[in-house]
Amino acid sequence: MQAMACSLPIVASNVNGISNMVEDGVTGTLVTVQNEKRLAAAIKDYIYDEKLRKDHAVAAFNYATTNFSNQKMLESYKNLFL
């Protein structure tokens, strides 16, 4: 989430806890576990495709700030305790 809030596209394993935050093809790229070749290819995609990198970075930032801003988190915690 911190990387997304810094406007970085995400390359991550497609596992629980990650796949519920990263939307494959929108905010980043999810890679099947233990698929090193696809992991390397996803990283290369972001290195060489500026439009892809920027589009995913903007979407990642928007997702992070919309869903996990300080205000949003405060509201969530208040709902737990009140």
Which tens digits make up the pLDDT trace of 3-25?
999 999 999 999 999 999 999 99
pLDDT in tens, 36-66: 999 999 999 999 999 999 999 999 999 999 9
Burial (CB < 10 A; 0-12, 13-18, 19+), residue 4, is buried
1 in Cβ contact with 68 (< 8 Å): yes
pTM of the model: 0.85
Judge whether 29 and 42 are in contact, CB under 8 Å: yes
CB 5 within 8 A of CB 68: yes
